[in-house]
Structures are given as structure tokens and as C-alpha cells.
């Protein structure tokens, strides 16, 4: 496995650990403040030439980048298994997602057109102008996809990009930075800067050469970034936390709903902002649903993430495991899944808990771990009210055979991404983002390049 190297050093060093074993994978040198400013300055200097690259040529460079990622798919996936503890199946999907997102947005440079608007006395046209340098701040839970959802449309729209990976998981992003160079992206167009949030991340907010910050992470840090961006009226996209509801009606295919619920809650060890970490079950089938849920949770394969049929690996760190475990103290645990016994890694068995009411922290807090809370509801209105009784609004699921009800409830739940009889949240060609404190703006889908550009209106008089 090739370990990427950092050209920076002034910000000290972190040791990337393998979460499955707690053993070191690599030492990573971090950027300091002056190095960050210098990298932003290089991205700023690269911008005029990059925005002038002909649309077809920029498209070709992004397709090259996608092809190089594809050639290194297995390498990237194995690096992610080692650094983030993701299952090999998930990690392959994640590396493939970077390739697909690059391919999808490689079609944008030739299609990101403006409008011609009828006016008297001339011609009125709009242009999408790139912003300049875009700063992307990535969390540790999905290091590759979240990076790609930012850099691919930003580059396609003609911006240059500086990207800061999370301290715990910098390796795949650093490798993607190397691969971009190999694919022929000019110097300074895409720079990965490993570093601390308080140094590199904050500098993206305060350095005026960065014209937009695209942040994914905790709601608390996101709020600080939004406050900081206000000083310069800097553009900002936020993808933050979630506490999404999986609503199961009595008329649903209960076997299917119960069989899929662990995947909806425990995928990536529950460290997923879209995790369906609250299950609402119609009261008439509550006991039956729990009976069906038990074998699904107990059979959820928690094992060595390098094995192809593993469904859940370890948590990212001892700290994350301890924070989730603290919420289990005194909780009413109804079902406990499997775990890996004899390992130094950051393992935790999946749990199904019965909250003591809607104020119970296991029902309200985003735990970001393999814990799902189950509660009954009385009718459709009660289900919608309970689902919406949260500051978050990222995703959610509705299980029912009644199409009218599915649509009514989907419209009633205050959430950006809903799925009916499924837990699917993310397709790169459909929009993704949150209501309420789950975020601001949307990523992915056909409109993503718009959020990396400004609309300029030009009127040309013809009556001279």
C-alpha cells in the first residue's frame, strides 16, 4: 500500500491509526499557518489560467482525473480500510463514487450555460462566473466521497480548490491530490492541505483569497464557520449533523422494514450523518417489529473490515467509542449485536435502545455510533410530529404500502432527503443537503456547479 506524503511540516505531525487494530498506519506532517497561506496564494495565482481553460479541455482533464482514480480504485479503497476502518465493500464504493462524481461533473464545463432574457433595445445574457479559490473542509466519516462532492463541481465550474481533510483520516485525500497531479491538473488547481481545523480550517474562513467555504462536519463547528464567513460575506455551504427517523407503518412489509433497519442505522458503524438512528413504529405492530428486528441486529456481521462480507467495522477512535458508550450508561438496551472480542481496536457492538421519552438523550442527541432508538407512534400526524421534533433535518425513511400516505408523510417530514421503502439517501446526480440545523445549501445533483459560481447579467445595447 502506497502511503502519500505531505509537503508541509510547520503544523507538527499526527499519527494515523488503523481503527481496527489501534496500530499506526502512517505519520502525517501537518501544515502551519504560513504554509496554508502560501498554498492559498498558489491556488489564487492558478485561478486566472484555470478559468480560461477551454470548456472541452477542462472537461477532458476531469475525465482524465476520473480515469486515474479508477486505475487506483483498489489502492484507495485499501488505504481507507486501513485509515478509517471502513468495510472493504464500502471503501470500494466510496472510491468508485469519487470517480463517478468526477465523470458526472466533467460534463458540466460544456453545459454550464447562462440565459438569454428578452429585453427591449438590446440583448441580455447571463454568465456563470467562477468564484476563485474554494476551501473545502472534510470530516473523518466519509473522507473520499465528501471531498469529491466538493472538489469535482467546484473545479468543473472553473474554481481552484484547497482541501483540508480531517486530522484522523488524511490519507485518501492526500492520495487524491497526488492523482490529480498525475492526471494533468495544473499546479495549484487542486491542493490538499493536511492540518488542524483550528489552523488550516480557520484560515480558509479568514483568508480573503478564499471566496467560498464548503464545510461538512459537526453542527457546532459549522455554526462557527458561518459566523466567521459573515465578516467577508463569504459564500458558505454547510452539511452538518442529523438524527433521522425511519417511520414504519403497520401496513408496511414489516419483514423488509426490519431486515433493512440495521443497515440504515449501523452502516459505517453509525458514523453517518444520514443514519436512521430513530425508528418510529406504529403502536399496533411495535412488539412484532422488535421481534423481527432482533435476528436482523444479532446477525449484522461486525468483523474484520478487510473481509468481503463484513457489514460493520470499528468506530473511528477510542474517543468516539467512549462518547457513544457514555450514552449507553443506564439506557434500556433491548437488543445487543455482535462485536469483535480480542482486539485493541475501537470496536462497539450495535445496540437497540428503548428511550424513556422524547427528552431522552439517546432519542435527541446525534451519537454518531451503532445505536438506534425505537419508539411507538399512534397515527400519521403523531409520526410526523415525532419525526420533526428535532433541531436536525437531513434524511429519513418511510415504510408503508400506501402510496398516498408515503407522499403525505414525505411532504410532512422536515428533511432534505427522504426515501420510501428504502434507506437510500445519496445519488450523485440528485441533490443532497439538510433542513434546519442539518445544513445550508445543497451538494450534488445537476445544480451543484451553480453554487460554485456567481450569476453575472450583461446587457448589450443594440440601438446605437
Residues forming the active site: 239
All 3 cell numbers of residue 190? 487542486
**Shortest spacing between CB 175 and ligand NAD, in angstroms:** 17
Q: With contact defined as beta carbons under 8 Å apart, do 15 and 24 qualify?
A: yes
Contact flag: residue 197 with ligand NAD (CB under 6 A): yes
**Count of residues of this chain found to bind ligand NAD when the rule CB under 6 A is applied:** 30
Give me the DSSP letters along 115-158: -EE--SSEEEEEEEEE-SEEEEE--SSSHHHHHHHHHHHHHHTT
DSSP state of 231: T
* Residues in 232-291 at the binding interface with ligand NAD, rule: CB under 6 A: 239-242, 273
Contact flag: residue 80 with ligand NAD (CB under 6 A): no
Choices 61-69, 184-192, 195-203, 449-457; region in contact with ligand NAD by CB under 6 A: 195-203
User: Between residues 146 and 245, which has the closer beta carbon with respect to ligand NAD?
Assistant: 146
Choices 74-82, 91-99, 196-204, 345-353; region in contact with ligand NAD by CB under 6 A: 196-204
User: Between residues 54 and 230, which has the closer beta carbon with respect to ligand NAD?
Assistant: 230
From 89, 36, 27, select the one nearest 312 (Cα to Cα). Answer: 89
Q: Which residues contact residue 374 at a Cβ distance below 8 angstroms, ignoring those fewer than 6 apart?
A: 278, 279, 280, 281, 286, 289, 290, 293, 334, 352, 353, 354
- φ/ψ of 235, rounded to 5, equals -65, 145
**Shortest spacing between CB 89 and ligand NAD, in angstroms:** 19
* Residues in 97-156 at the binding interface with ligand NAD, rule: CB under 6 A: 137-141, 146
* Residues in 342-371 at the binding interface with ligand NAD, rule: CB under 6 A: 366, 368
From 151, 16, 178, select the one nearest 81 (Cα to Cα). Answer: 16
**Shortest spacing between CB 182 and ligand NAD, in angstroms:** 25
User: Between residues 167 and 282, which has the closer beta carbon with respect to ligand NAD?
Assistant: 167
Give me the DSSP letters along 430-448: S-B--SGGGEES-BSSTTG
**Shortest spacing between CB 84 and ligand NAD, in angstroms:** 11
Distances from the Cα of 185 to the Cα of 75, 82, 196, 439, angstroms: 21, 27, 26, 31
Q: If you search the block for the grid coordinates 494533468, which residue do you land on?
A: 184
**Shortest spacing between CB 369 and ligand NAD, in angstroms:** 11
Choices 21-29, 68-76, 210-218, 369-377; region in contact with ligand NAD by CB under 6 A: 210-218
Contact flag: residue 229 with ligand NAD (CB under 6 A): no
**Shortest spacing between CB 169 and ligand NAD, in angstroms:** 9
Contact flag: residue 221 with ligand NAD (CB under 6 A): yes
Among 92, 164, 321, 386, binds ligand NAD (CB under 6 A): 164
User: Between residues 148 and 197, which has the closer beta carbon with respect to ligand NAD?
Assistant: 197
Binding string, residues 289-328; x marks residues near ligand NAD by CB under 6 A: ----------------------------------------
> What is the end-to-end Cα distance of the chain in Å, rounded?
67
DSSP state of 302: B
Among 14, 93, 186, 218, binds ligand NAD (CB under 6 A): 218
Using CA atoms of 67, 71, 76, 78 in order, give the dihedral in degrees to the nearest 10: 150
Which spans in 192-283 are helix H? 202-206, 219-230, 254-266
151-162 residues labelled b (16+ CB within 10 A) or e (exposed):
bbbbbbbbbbbb
Contact flag: residue 32 with ligand NAD (CB under 6 A): no
DSSP state of 458: E
| CA 34 – CA 36 distance, rounded (Å) | 5
Contact flag: residue 394 with ligand NAD (CB under 6 A): yes
**Shortest spacing between CB 44 and ligand NAD, in angstroms:** 19
Residues contributing to the site for ligand NAD (CB under 6 A): 137-141, 146, 164, 166-167, 197-198, 201-202, 216-218, 221, 224-225, 239-242, 273, 366, 368, 394, 434, 438-439
Amino acid at each position: 500500500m502506497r502511503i502519500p506524503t505531505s509537503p508541509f511540516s510547520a503544523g507538527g505531525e499526527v499519527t494515523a491509526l488503523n481503527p481496527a487494530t489501534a496500530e499506526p498506519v502512517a505519520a502525517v506532517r501537518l501544515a502551519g499557518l504560513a504554509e496554508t497561506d502560501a498554498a492559498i496564494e498558489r491556488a489564487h495565482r492558478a485561478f486566472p489560467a484555470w478559468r480560461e481553460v477551454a470548456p472541452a479541455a477542462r472537461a477532458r482533464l476531469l475525465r482524465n482525473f476520473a480515469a486515474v482514480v479508477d486505475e487506483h480504485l483498489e489502492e484507495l479503497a485499501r488505504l481507507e480500510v486501513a485509515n478509517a476502518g471502513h468495510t472493504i465493500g464500502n471503501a470500494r464504493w466510496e472510491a468508485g463514487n469519487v470517480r463517478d462524481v468526477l465523470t458526472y461533473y466533467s460534463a458540466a464545463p460544456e453545459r454550464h450555460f447562462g440565459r438569454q432574457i428578452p429585453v427591449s433595445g438590446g440583448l441580455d445574457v447571463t454568465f456563470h462566473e467562477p468564484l476563485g479559490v474554494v476551501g473545502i473542509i472534510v470530516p473523518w466519516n466519509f473522507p473520499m466521497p465528501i471531498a469529491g462532492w466538493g472538489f469535482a463541481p467546484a473545479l468543473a465550474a472553473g474554481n481552484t480548490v484547497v482541501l483540508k481533510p480531517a486530522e484522523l483520516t488524511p490519507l485518501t485525500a492526500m492520495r487524491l491530490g497526488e492523482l490529480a497531479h498525475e492526471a494533468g491538473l495544473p499546479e495549484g488547481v487542486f491542493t490538499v492541505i493536511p492540518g488542524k481545523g483550528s489552523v488550516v480550517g480557520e484560515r480558509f474562513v479568514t483568508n480573503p483569497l478564499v471566496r467560498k467555504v464548503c464545510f461538512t462536519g459537526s453542527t457546532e463547528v459549522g455554526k462557527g464557520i458561518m459566523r466567521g464567513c459573515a465578516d467577508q460575506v463569504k459564500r458558505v455551504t454547510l452539511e452538518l449533523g442529523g438524527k433521522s427517523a425511519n417511520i414504519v407503518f403497520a401496513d408496511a412489509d414489516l419483514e423488509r422494514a426490519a431486515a433493512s433497519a440495521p443497515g440504515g442505522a449501523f452502516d459505517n458503524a453509525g458514523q453517518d450523518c444520514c443514519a436512521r438512528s430513530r425508528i418510529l413504529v406504529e403502536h399496533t405492530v411495535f412488539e412484532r417489529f422488535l421481534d423481527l428486528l432482533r435476528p436482523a441486529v444479532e446477525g449484522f456481521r461486525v468483523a474484520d473490515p478487510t473481509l468481503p462480507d463484513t457489514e460493520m467495522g470499528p468506530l473511528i477512535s477510542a474517543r468516539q467509542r467512549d462518547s457513544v458508550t457514555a450514552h449507553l450508561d443506564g439506557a434500556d438496551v433491548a437488543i445487543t449485536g455482535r462485536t469483535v472480542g480480542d482486539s485493541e481496536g475501537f470496536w462497539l457492538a450495535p445496540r437497540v435502545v428503548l428511550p424513556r421519552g422524547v427528552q431522552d438523550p439517546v432519542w435527541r442527541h446525534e451519537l454518531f455510533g451503532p445505536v438506534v432508538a425505537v419508539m411507538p407512534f399512534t397515527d400519521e400526524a403523531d409520526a410526523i410530529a415525532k419525526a420533526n421534533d428535532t433541531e436536525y433535518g437531513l434524511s429519513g425513511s418511510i415504510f408503508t404500502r400506501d402510496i398516498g400516505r408515503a407522499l403525505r408523510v414525505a411532504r410532512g417530514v422536515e428533511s432534505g432527503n427522504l426515501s420510501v421503502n428504502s434507506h437510500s439517501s445519496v445519488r450523485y446526480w440528485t441533490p443532497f443537503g439538510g433542513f434546519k440545523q442539518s445544513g445550508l445549501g445543497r451538494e450534488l445533483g445537476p445544480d451543484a456547479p451553480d453554487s460554485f459560481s456567481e450569476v453575472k447579467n450583461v446587457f448589450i445595447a443594440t440601438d446605437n
